[in-house]
Amino acid sequence: MLRAVKARNARSKREIEKREPKIEESGRTFLFLRGSSTNKVVQTALLDLYLLKKPNAIKFSRKNQIYPFENTSSLNFLSEKNDASFLVVGSCGKRRQNTLIFVRMFDYQVLDMLELRIEAAVSMIEFKNEKCFIGLRPMILFVGSLFESSPKYQLCKSMFLDFFHGKTTDQLNIEGIQYAVCLLTEEPTDENPFPPVFFRLYMVKYMKEEGSGSKIELEEMGPRYDFLIRRTHEANEKMMKEAMKKPKKHLPKIKKNIDVDIMGDKIGQIHLAKQNIDQLQTRKFKGLKRKIEDSIEDELSLNKDGKKNRRVTFKDDLTLHT
């Protein structure tokens, strides 16, 4: 881990503040690394993935003595030094040929890893057609029941979703989606319980029609890879819970005693204390005054001896003697 360095000037202070945790984090930084030994297939795959993530990507050209599943200290160091939260390591050895390792980081520590072996590859350069613009988000499609049932394929789905996930926005222009990413798998069998993952990219072309709608056509733009899932490193439960925690600012406010019915109308429940009607304040109108007969009955009272008082006083200061 890097030691904490105190800022000496305003420029270094701004750089340190950029790396501090924020409520709304900026986009991911991707780091592409070469292992101790690589070949042309691995280097081309790293280059293709790097081009898809530009400009939020850094690519190292030199070899690095990195073995992610044996020791993660080098990954932690490089992640903090380059402020990268997603790493892709390419390597090729005698036992594990044409390998890509996807590494997700949290707080500059390895969260989980996925190792993929390249079975077949066609680079992006070999497709002589139009390419998408840099920095655009694609439409992602997963085809296959294993992406919902198998833990390995679920991790693969989560990795690629994070890899192509951009900045979260409330509005989206449909015509701004220029390419689509498709990951397909076959149904598992007894002979092949873990079938390969077919990775394809297509350009999305919008063809105008005479009607109000538009026709969509797909054209493969590359790259094209067939992956086999090898080793995986699942995230620690405590660490994953911390990584998935949402800040209080993003949590919706809890509204008590408010429900929404089937029609979408809000129904509220109000709790009030018991109301004392005797102390209820009301406006007095002349038209609501009682009659003289009613006033006489109300003004009758009892003396201490229990006899009725025959003297009745009216509000207009008139006295009646009987």
Tens digit of pLDDT for each residue in 193-251? 999 999 999 999 888 776 666 788 899 998 999 999 999 999 999 999 988 887 777 66
Q: What is the pLDDT of residue 177?
A: 86
- Pair type for strands 197-208 and 224-233: antiparallel
Pairwise CA distance, residues 188 & 282, whole Å: 79
Q: What is the pLDDT of residue 222?
A: 87
Between the alpha carbon of residue 185 and those of residues 48, 70, 143, the distances in Å are 22, 29, 6
Q: Sort 47 into a burial class: Cβ within 10 Å, 0-12 / 13-18 / 19+.
A: middle
Q: What is the pLDDT of residue 251?
A: 66
Tokens 């192509």 -> residue: 164
Tokens 């101790």 -> residue: 36
Q: What is the pLDDT of residue 230?
A: 96
Tokens 């086999």 -> residue: 228
Q: What is the pLDDT of residue 317?
A: 47
Q: What is the pLDDT of residue 114?
A: 97
Pairwise CA distance, residues 252 & 245, whole Å: 14
Pairwise CA distance, residues 183 & 146, whole Å: 11
Q: What is the pLDDT of residue 285?
A: 67
Q: What is the pLDDT of residue 198?
A: 98
Tokens 């790259």 -> residue: 223
Residues of the chain falling short of pLDDT 70: 1-5, 21, 23-26, 210-213, 250-251, 284-322
Pairwise CA distance, residues 74 & 241, whole Å: 24
